[in-house]
Structure 1
Amino acid sequence: MAVKDRDRFSTATRLRVLGEQTAARVYRSQTKRQARRSRLTGRAALLALVLCTLVVALAYPIRQYVSQRAEISDQQREQQQARQRVEQLRDLKARWQDDAYAQQQIRQRLHYVLPGETGFIVIDPDAAKQSRTDQGAADRPWYSNVWDGVDKSDAADQ
Structure 2
Amino acid sequence: MAKRPQLTGRAAILAVVVCAIAMSLAYPVREFLAQRRQITQLEQQQAKALADLRSLEEERKRLEDPEYIKREAREKLHFCEPGAHCYGVLDDGTKTSASAGQRRAAVSPWYISLWQSVESADRGEGKKMGG
TM-score normalised over the length of structure 1: 0.53
8 Å contact kept, 1:95–1:101: yes
Alignment match of 1:111 (pick from 68, 73, 78): 78
2:62 maps to what in 1? 95
Map Cα deviations across residues 58-85 of structure 1 (whole Å, 9 max, x no partner): 1111111101111011101111111111
8 Å contact kept, 1:111–1:119: no
1:55 maps to what in 2? 22
Identity %: 31
* Higher relative contact order (CA closer than 8 Å, sequence separation 6+): 2
Task: Give aligned pairs, total.
Answer: 98
Runs of 4+ in structure 1 deviating by more than 6 angstroms, as ranges, are none
Across the aligned residues of Structure 1 and Structure 2, the Cα RMSD in angstroms comes to: 2.6
The structure where helix makes up a greater share of residues is 1
How many angstroms apart in 1 are the aligned matches of 2:72 and 2:11? 80
Gaps of 5+ in 2: 103-131
Alignment match of 2:9 (pick from 24, 42, 61): 42
State the shift of 1:42 in Å: 2.0
1:120 maps to what in 2? 88
One-letter amino acid of the structure 2 residue matched with residue 67 of structure 1: A
One-letter amino acid of the structure 2 residue matched with residue 60 of structure 1: Y
Alignment match of 1:71 (pick from 11, 15, 38): 38
State the shift of 1:109 in Å: 1.5
Describe the shift of the 1:72–1:121 C-alpha distance in structure 2 as closer, same or farther (beyond 3 A): farther
Q: Considering only CA atoms, is the larger Rg found in Structure 1 or Structure 2?
A: 1
State the shift of 1:53 in Å: 1.1
Gaps of 5+ in 1: 1-25, 136-158
